[in-house]
Structure 1
């Protein structure tokens, strides 16, 4: 373990309930293997896809769980697409992390370390078990993340300093807010660049995150091109269908398209200036 984590709760102060605990030989924070981020072109193309469409297309491709259930936008109207930079909280155990100085010990944990690895366009994805009491990110850390080019944050748990973070204009999806700092309650920043579970969904480092007012969706990195191609067709025919419905057409003919109206759509698309 790091020096700071080793001494936490082990000062032998009178009344310290952790003074007699045997400290295991564990080195924190844990860091996973290096990973690749998506290229700028992929991010730009996926940036045209809504989370609803991405979720639907992944379902059609065989990925049944992509919606991160629970986190909601701190402020509505934001839209983010980026590569997942992962942070894992784990339950506290007194022989590993406890004591009066714990808030200061956090600077030696995965929470501080992961922020030093942020690259422009990253979306920080945080596993926090939906905790109602752990403020996984606060104003100062959010500012640092944003300054380094971070695009947004998805937390399966809570944040603190919500007003100041809202004023930053940093897009954040969380399950709520709390006045607690990160390790004040039952969790502790444990690992980064590792697989995380958020809202019932597996997120691997480097996966793509699409988040908007409907919530966050995790797109497996290797499937990004399939999702983009399928979503582009879907969103183009929805534009066509809206236009026809606004003109008075029948819903059952244009949503979804029938074989006949699909041919009509293809002709319409070919006539558009932006047609491929």
Structure 2
């Protein structure tokens, strides 16, 4: 869906080289929000980066859905894409499952982020598919939630996500960067990461921590 070509390829490559903390710091420095709170990897130590292909779920009976949730998005997606499922924080029913994970893996999709519960976690883990979610649960979506639409604007734990926005996830959580601001955020995040690497080098040289993490650290986001 979000084909990884040209400038977009470069942006994803640069994003992959960063961690969510540096990107969150950059967003802070620019006065932007983007950190998604409460979600974590349920499939082990994974990180992922790519462009968002969105899916919005609602309670069954709310809308008529002609297909099982997530299937159209999987069929239209591939390498460089991250499926972002707006499950609206539901902890008691899955918004993603094992057959979908197999399809996503087969398509080369980078991973899946679900604002709510997922199931078949062991299956996704065995597949090596990164899945970030609120929690795991065995309860099926069938008869409980359906797809309202895909490739539409959604919210992920209160953070707006539009199709084609950039997403990064690792052990610290999930961040979303609007596509229109990716270059600005990357430049700032790369500067933050460079300053932190310099501090780590000083620590390894044996400098006192008070000196390493003094005024320089408190002013890390300035300039």
Question: TM-score w.r.t. structure 1 length?
Answer: 0.72
1:220 aligns with 2:191: no
CA distance in 2, matches of 1:132, 1:148: 27
1:90 aligns with 2:48: no
Which residue of structure 1 lines up, in the alignment, with residue 30 of structure 2?
61
CA distance in 2, matches of 1:140, 1:110: 11
Please report how far the alpha carbon of residue 70 of structure 1 lies from its aligned counterpart in structure 2 after TM superposition. Answer: 1.8
SS at match of 1:75: coil
Which string of whole-angstrom CA distances, capped at 9 and with x for unpartnered residues, describes residues 49-100 of structure 1?
100110110111111x311112210133211110000000023336x45xxx
1:44 aligns with 2:3: no
CA distance in 1, matches of 2:12, 2:173: 18
1:193 aligns with 2:151: yes
Within-5 A mapping of 1:15-34: none
* Structure 1 range deviating more: 172-181 or 205-214: 172-181
Which residue of structure 1 lines up, in the alignment, with residue 46 of structure 2?
78
CA distance in 1, matches of 2:104, 2:2: 19
Please report how far the alpha carbon of residue 109 of structure 1 lies from its aligned counterpart in structure 2 after TM superposition. Answer: 4.5
Which residue of structure 1 lines up, in the alignment, with residue 132 of structure 2?
173
SS at match of 1:249: coil
Superposition RMSD in Å: 2.3
Aligned residues: 216
CA distance in 2, matches of 1:58, 1:74: 25
Which residue of structure 2 lines up, in the alignment, with residue 148 of structure 1?
107
Higher strand share: 2
Higher relative contact order (CA 8 A, sep 6+): 2
- Evaluate the alpha carbon distance shift between residue 36 and residue 195 of structure 1 in structure 2; reply closer, same or farther with a 3 A threshold: farther
- In structure 2, stretches of 5+ residues that fail to align are none
Within-5 A mapping of 1:197-212: 197-212=155-170
Moved over 3 A (4+): 34-38, 250-253, 256-259
- In structure 1, stretches of 5+ residues that fail to align are 1-33, 98-105, 263-276
Question: TM-score w.r.t. structure 2 length?
Answer: 0.88
Which string of whole-angstrom CA distances, capped at 9 and with x for unpartnered residues, describes residues 144-182 of structure 1?
111111001000011111111111010010111222222
CA distance in 2, matches of 1:47, 1:241: 21
CA distance in 1, matches of 2:111, 2:45: 13
CA distance in 2, matches of 1:42, 1:86: 19
- Evaluate the alpha carbon distance shift between residue 235 and residue 162 of structure 1 in structure 2; reply closer, same or farther with a 3 A threshold: same
Is residue 2–residue 52 contact of structure 2 (8 Å, CA) maintained in 1? Answer: no
Which residue of structure 2 lines up, in the alignment, with residue 27 of structure 1?
none
